[in-house]
Structure 1
Amino acid sequence: MTVTTSKGDVILFALSVIGLIWYVVLWSIGILGCRTARRRYLRPWSPLAPVPASSAPGVSILRPLKGLDTNLYENLESTFVQEYPNFEILLSVAYEHDQALSVVRELTEKYPDVDVKVVIGEDVVGVNPKVNNLIRSYRQAANDILWVIDSNVAVDSGTLARSVDVLVGPPPNSQSSHRKRVALVHHVPLANANEAWLGARVEEAFLNTNHAKMYLAINTVAIESCVVGKSNLYRRSDIDRVNGLLKPKSTPDGASQTADFGLAAFGRFLAEDNMIASSLWHELGLRHDLSCDVAHNAVGKMTLSDYIWRRVRWIRVRKHMVLAATILEPLTENFVASSIAAWSLWYLTGVPAWLFLPTHHIIWLSVDMDVYASLAGHPVVADKRLSFIGAWALRELLAFPIWALAICGNEVVWRGGKYQVLRAGEVKKAN
């Protein structure tokens, strides 16, 4: 008896096998992110032992400000109380009447012994207002090590000490000294939505589960740069040698900053943080690392529409930076990946989707909740659990429609302005 197999059957069989392989790969990445969260954040190491200020590398903390961000007082205060003996703080605003200055005055009066400089005014070097705000602080900073922190971020008191420890690296005679030098230390965002805005809840669920899981997994494998710029520590002497072209090159040590190199060169990008990190990685051949700290991101009033357009904005930027990864992004999302796996499993084994899918979603949610607990140091509180899971489910349902909307356009709205995204994530004002 001869069994004939059609070409269509072969194709379907191959697709189903590929679908299951992809599903296993995706779960491997997710478990890696979950395991990394447990190992790195459940048992954080202590900060550096107290040392004389003359022995600790000096650090300049740069915080760009604009208006009264959510929890601004607490966010800024967290840098005033760092357990580190040698740092200065530079707080920069574009205009002398900015509301943030009232908070700055309160803190400088409360902590008179902290070395604080207020930098008023901006230098327009590109379309990115954050870079324009930071340029003067960047040039006036007394130290080579810079810690740039967004105004809506708070950090634990030992964050700076631990981050310097990672940036400086092991002693020269250490077994790990053959590794590439760390050029940038970053911190995974941990969102906190204190207000009952749906968009804020969805943003919190996204950042604290799927985003954190993938972010940690990618940085553990470390085959490519992947950095969010809410809290980054790096050396100005390194930034002054890169220009965002991502081509291996260097300038002599101590070369003066020009319009072609240094922070000003990144004013043409919307995602300047990611481009700075990528430039250190590709142009200088250096690497990044995480400390065991999180960037506590206070999420204020954010509607669901705000959340959707925020995600659209960054997908459109990423599309022009890493096109292949952006095209494949839907295949990494829960509902698309599980649908592919359900069909593949049914085709190969006959397991019905109604049995597979609920089991998958329960386990997927459990892993995401475990990541949240590792980062926060505790599970989602009981009275918030149902609303958190609801926000998580809404985020998962919206992932593909948001991606489809984003992939079809090139314009973004950012800080009240409309921009067109160009090659490599550069932007220009849209007409």
Structure 2
Amino acid sequence: MRLSTTAVDWHNTVIISPTVDDDPTAQDWHHVFSVCLSIVGLIWYVFIWSAGLLGCWTARKRYRNRPNHQTATTLSSSVPGVSILRPLKGLDTNLLENLESSFRQDYPNFEVLLSVADEHDKALPVVYELLAKYPNVNARVIIGALLYIVPQEGDVVDVGANPKVNNLIRPYNEAVHDVLWVLDSNVAVAPGTLARAVEILSRPSSHPNTPRRRIALVHHVVFAVLTRGSTFGARVEEAFLNTNLAKMYIAINAAAVDSCVVGKSNLFRRSDLERLDGSLVPRQQQRDNGQQRGLAAFGRFLAEDNMIGLSLWHELDLRHDLSCDVAHNALGDMSLSDYVWRRVRWIRVRKYTSFVATLLEPFTESAMLGVIAAASMQFLTGVTHHLFLPIHFSIWILIDLDVYASLAGHALPSSKRWEFLVAWVVREMLAFPIWLLAIMGDEVEWRGGRYKVLRNGEVTH
């Protein structure tokens, strides 16, 4: 060990200190730590790639060979009736086409309930146009969102902070059928979607990790569709929804390790929801303390779709399944700022209900994951990042484009290839800054309201 001397005029004392950098023991520990960190980095890299490949393979298997449904040819008395609930607010992009897809379902026994919060909503003329166009469809409009509940004390309170839940309460209570299909107003579905979803809901889970569990919720992957007025922010949103989000969403549901549900299109039974209180405590361990149950119990959450899925999974030990159909989400005028704040909102909403997953999210993105793996490879093998990163990003985007093709039913058109790639690159580069911005705050804006997300996942105005 080499020693360095430093003279200090402090009671005429000479301090002799070792140079730690030249200490062989310290160097050995530093090397061992670097090796371990690099190995962990590569293991994580392989794990995320495995998830991505699982999502890609499952998308190919599920969406490229969609079976013909047989339910529509069956007598209406032999299939369960379904109530389609569509909460509306304002004029969403392609609203007429979105809502019309509900009226055109190839299924013999269903009703359509369209609900708005007030009688001046701009969506109502569109609704009335459809009611006149399809007089033979059992459909009606419900006006008035808030339901007031009178507890034993005689107090009058509203359902909760979530405006979508408030808008759904009346159709939820008035629906004729037990099977409910909640569809957001900005999505359209193919005519056979309902029949195939009901078929899945009627059978037990076939997943090896969850044998013989009953399917309680059928949901659909969102596939973004650009419209004529789509702006650059919408293109970035399309690149996100149709590649990375879809890939990981499909992978998590294929692994079936926990609930992962996006609420654009969900089919479930009202009788199951009536047993839930949103506590995520198994039903047999819950105490009867007068806790609200059913859909109203989820009015205190902004991400009611995610919480309903988690509650079915953990409270009732039931499972979910994805249909082979997609929910087409029409994208219109969305600025890049709109896209950023939309992503910030949903990261903030779920960071307390899925804390670990949210914390790890930036380490699953292509840019940061590639940097981690490149540094690990260079330390362990000497392969430089100049060689590794181009290969990493090239294969990553090829996998993403394959997922896109599976969901779309065709490859990305050559006419929009460069626009899509630019939007894809912008999305990947914005992923970490957006996450950082989201993780540092608790306030969100949604549908004209401002909310504060609490640590238990609930929200307040």
**Do Structure 1 and Structure 2 share a fold, with TM-score over 0.5?**
yes
SS of the residue aligned with 1:54?
Answer: helix
Deviation (angstroms), 1:413: 1.5
Corresponding residue for residue 208 of structure 1: 242
Corresponding residue for residue 309 of structure 2: 277
Corresponding residue for residue 27 of structure 1: 49
RMSD: 2.0
Structure 2 residue 202 is the aligned partner of structure 1 residue 179 = no
2:194 corresponds to which of 152, 157, 160: 160
**CA distance in structure 1 between the aligned counterparts of 2:404 and 2:209, rounded to whole angstroms:** 31
Pairs within 5 Å for 1:314-325? 314-325=346-357
Are residues 177 and 277 of structure 1, via their aligned partners in 2, closer, same or farther at CA, if it must alter by over 3 Å? closer
SS of the residue aligned with 1:227?
Answer: coil
Contact persistence 2:344–2:438 (CA under 8 A): yes
Corresponding residue for residue 288 of structure 1: 320
Contact persistence 1:183–1:288 (CA under 8 A): yes
Pairs within 5 Å for 1:379-398? 379-398=411-430
**CA distance in structure 2 between the aligned counterparts of 1:322 and 1:105, rounded to whole angstroms:** 40
Deviation (angstroms), 1:93: 0.7
**CA distance in structure 1 between the aligned counterparts of 2:335 and 2:62, rounded to whole angstroms:** 33
Deviation (angstroms), 1:170: 5.8
Structure 2 residue 220 is the aligned partner of structure 1 residue 197 = no
Deviation (angstroms), 1:423: 2.3
Corresponding residue for residue 163 of structure 2: 129
Are residues 348 and 176 of structure 1, via their aligned partners in 2, closer, same or farther at CA, if it must alter by over 3 Å? closer
**CA distance in structure 2 between the aligned counterparts of 1:261 and 1:51, rounded to whole angstroms:** 35
SS of the residue aligned with 1:213?
Answer: helix
- CA deviation profile, 1:363-394 (whole Å, cap 9, x unmatched): 10000000000000011111111001110110
Q: Which moved more, 1:321-330 or 1:83-92?
A: 321-330
Pairs within 5 Å for 1:3-402? 6-49=28-71, 50-123=73-146, 124-169=158-203, 179-194=212-227, 195-249=229-283, 260-402=292-434
**CA distance in structure 1 between the aligned counterparts of 2:456 and 2:107, rounded to whole angstroms:** 38
SS of the residue aligned with 1:260?
Answer: coil
- CA deviation profile, 1:248-272 (whole Å, cap 9, x unmatched): 01699xx9xx870000111110100
Percent identical among aligned pairs is: 62
**CA distance in structure 2 between the aligned counterparts of 1:93 and 1:251, rounded to whole angstroms:** 37
**CA distance in structure 1 between the aligned counterparts of 2:145 and 2:360, rounded to whole angstroms:** 39
Contact persistence 1:205–1:388 (CA under 8 A): yes
Contact persistence 1:90–1:118 (CA under 8 A): yes
- CA deviation profile, 1:57-114 (whole Å, cap 9, x unmatched): 0000000011111001100111101010000000001111212111111111111110
**CA distance in structure 1 between the aligned counterparts of 2:285 and 2:368, rounded to whole angstroms:** 46
- Tell me the TM-score normalised to structure 1 length: 0.94
SS of the residue aligned with 2:456?
Answer: helix
Contact persistence 1:41–1:374 (CA under 8 A): yes
Deviation (angstroms), 1:196: 3.5
Are residues 176 and 279 of structure 1, via their aligned partners in 2, closer, same or farther at CA, if it must alter by over 3 Å? closer
Contact persistence 1:213–1:368 (CA under 8 A): yes
The runs of at least 4 aligned residues of structure 1 exceeding 6 Å deviation read: none
Corresponding residue for residue 9 of structure 2: none
Deviation (angstroms), 1:395: 0.3
SS of the residue aligned with 2:330?
Answer: strand
**CA distance in structure 2 between the aligned counterparts of 1:58 and 1:251, rounded to whole angstroms:** 32
Deviation (angstroms), 1:179: 1.1
- Tell me the TM-score normalised to structure 2 length: 0.88
SS of the residue aligned with 2:372?
Answer: helix
Contact persistence 1:343–1:353 (CA under 8 A): yes
Structure 2 letter corresponding to 1:189? V
Deviation (angstroms), 1:133: 0.4
SS of the residue aligned with 2:267?
Answer: strand
Structure 2 letter corresponding to 1:327? L
Deviation (angstroms), 1:199: 1.1
Structure 1 letter corresponding to 2:35? F
Count residues in correspondence.
Answer: 421
Q: Which moved more, 1:204-213 or 1:298-307?
A: 298-307
Structure 1 letter corresponding to 2:213? K
Highest RCO, 1 vs 2 (Cα 8 Å, sep ≥ 6): 1
Contact persistence 1:170–1:177 (CA under 8 A): no
Contact persistence 2:209–2:256 (CA under 8 A): no
**CA distance in structure 2 between the aligned counterparts of 1:101 and 1:385, rounded to whole angstroms:** 38
SS of the residue aligned with 1:269?
Answer: coil
Q: Which moved more, 1:92-101 or 1:53-62?
A: 92-101
SS of the residue aligned with 1:375?
Answer: helix
Deviation (angstroms), 1:176: 12
Structure 2 letter corresponding to 1:240? E
**CA distance in structure 2 between the aligned counterparts of 1:312 and 1:289, rounded to whole angstroms:** 27
- CA deviation profile, 1:198-244 (whole Å, cap 9, x unmatched): 11111110000000000000000001000000000000000000011
SS of the residue aligned with 1:45?
Answer: coil
**CA distance in structure 1 between the aligned counterparts of 2:357 and 2:131, rounded to whole angstroms:** 45
Q: Which moved more, 1:82-91 or 1:313-322?
A: 313-322
Bigger Rg, structure 1 or 2: 2
Unmatched 5+ residue regions in structure 2?
1-23, 147-157
**CA distance in structure 1 between the aligned counterparts of 2:365 and 2:330, rounded to whole angstroms:** 25
**CA distance in structure 1 between the aligned counterparts of 2:166 and 2:284, rounded to whole angstroms:** 24
**CA distance in structure 2 between the aligned counterparts of 1:292 and 1:352, rounded to whole angstroms:** 42
Structure 1 letter corresponding to 2:306? N
**CA distance in structure 1 between the aligned counterparts of 2:77 and 2:210, rounded to whole angstroms:** 24
Q: Which moved more, 1:387-396 or 1:189-198?
A: 189-198
Are residues 250 and 295 of structure 1, via their aligned partners in 2, closer, same or farther at CA, if it must alter by over 3 Å? farther
